[in-house]
Structure 1
Amino acid sequence: MARKINKKCLHCAGLDIESASEIHGELGDGCWNPKICRRRRSHYRNRVENNAKRRQARKLGGTSRKISVTVEQPIVAMVTFYKQERKDALLHAVSAAVWQGDTQLAVIEPVHCLGWTPRQVRTYLERVLVKLNEEYRIDNFAQMLTKHPTECPIEACPLASSN
């Protein structure tokens, strides 16, 4: 039969280490033991994931083996639009990247599009695709991402959250 969950330890695991040692240390209720508590706190924080792994291993009979299959990853281009989610929001910036699997092969640096008409944006993206076709034989964007303007990676951007 499984051991009962200690509610005090479960609560303590959710606290940061300083707060936990203060509340349960010498000035608190005195139950803090650094030799035991660090491991126990880790156990309580990760118990859901650890129990799921154990259940999965039991389901597989404890004899699971990993099989790897090599896959030829295609080279794809992704375009990122920096704009707010409103339908009438103006496009703030646009960038693109070329990927093969989880490896980034190239980046088209982001450019601000403030004041651009939809036709100018289309023309710019067509020029990007011409360049990508020359380099990687890519003739369309595989995926289009939308990010908020505060995530704009351009250093001089007044809306970027990191500035």
Structure 2
Amino acid sequence: MPKPLDPKCQLCANLPTAKAKVLHGTDGDGCWNPKVCHNRRSFYRRRTKSDSTEIDVIAIVPPATYFAVLYLYKEPGDKPLHALSAELWLGQKPVCRLEPIHCFGLTAGKIRIYTDQVLQVFAQQYDISLYQYKDMFEISPSHCPVRPCPLHPELSLFCHYDERIIR
């Protein structure tokens, strides 16, 4: 009986070699073996392509239902909320997005009221019933899309000057 395919190697085979060495080399999890990995990655890439041609693929359209998703930009744990955003989805596609806002100075109660208002606006706009968010995702504040943002100071803010003042 053949040895089963290693899922970790299957995923690694799809990465560029440089990235695979970083993730699995001495700085990563340490499983990279230069004597074995190059051939194994090639084997897994060819194996995956040939296996995919043998399997029939069908597509069935999933039922389209509305649901809302909340995005919280915050550090893990009991840290303050940096920013938030929300989206309304219909089936597999987003249909409406709340622009992200910073939450500086907002209490937990005010944030709860605001997120409930977002659900109400989504429901009124699309004439549907929404009672809660289907899912909430915590995203690192370093990915905050709001500009200007204290985490992403623009160089021009600190370097801007008025020539009249200098003279």
Q: TM-score, normalised by structure 2?
A: 0.61
The residue aligned with 1:99 is: 89
CA 1:161–1:14: 2 relative to 1, 3 Å: farther
User: How far, CA to CA, are the matches of 1:99 and 1:141 in structure 2?
Assistant: 11
Of 78, 85, 88 in structure 1, the residue corresponding to residue 76 of structure 2 is 85
Of 56, 64, 67 in structure 2, the residue corresponding to residue 65 of structure 1 is 56
User: How far, CA to CA, are the matches of 2:71 and 2:99 in structure 1?
Assistant: 11
Q: Is the 8 A contact 1:82 1:94 kept in 2?
A: yes
Could you tell which deviates more after superposition, 134-143 or 66-75? 66-75
CA 1:161–1:50: 2 relative to 1, 3 Å: farther
Q: Is the 8 A contact 2:62 2:91 kept in 1?
A: no
Q: Is the 8 A contact 1:132 1:139 kept in 2?
A: no
User: How far, CA to CA, are the matches of 1:55 and 1:97 in structure 2?
Assistant: 37
Aligned ranges 1:21-32 → 2 under 5 Å: none
The residue aligned with 2:132 is: 140
- Name the larger-Rg structure: 1
Q: Deviations over 1:34-89 (max 9, x none)?
A: xxxxxxxxx986541221343566xxxx4x432222222211110001111021x1
Q: Give unmatched runs, 5+ long, in structure 2.
A: 1-15, 19-38, 156-167
CA 1:128–1:103: 2 relative to 1, 3 Å: same
CA 1:14–1:152: 2 relative to 1, 3 Å: closer
Q: Which amino acid aligns with 1:51?
A: R
- The count of aligned residue pairs is 120
Q: Which amino acid aligns with 2:135?
A: Q
Q: Give unmatched runs, 5+ long, in structure 1.
A: 1-12, 16-42
Could you tell which deviates more after superposition, 112-121 or 66-75? 66-75
Q: Is it true that 1:125 corresponds to 2:115 in the alignment?
A: yes
Give the secondary-structure state (helix, strand or coil) at the position aligned to 2:100.
strand
Q: TM-score, normalised by structure 1?
A: 0.62
Residue identity over aligned pairs, in percent, reads 26
The residue aligned with 2:147 is: 155
Note the aligned Cα RMSD (angstroms).
3.0
The residue aligned with 2:46 is: 50
Q: Which amino acid aligns with 1:69?
A: I
Q: Is the 8 A contact 1:151 1:161 kept in 2?
A: no
User: How far, CA to CA, are the matches of 1:83 and 1:114 in structure 2?
Assistant: 12
Of 58, 68, 74 in structure 1, the residue corresponding to residue 65 of structure 2 is 74
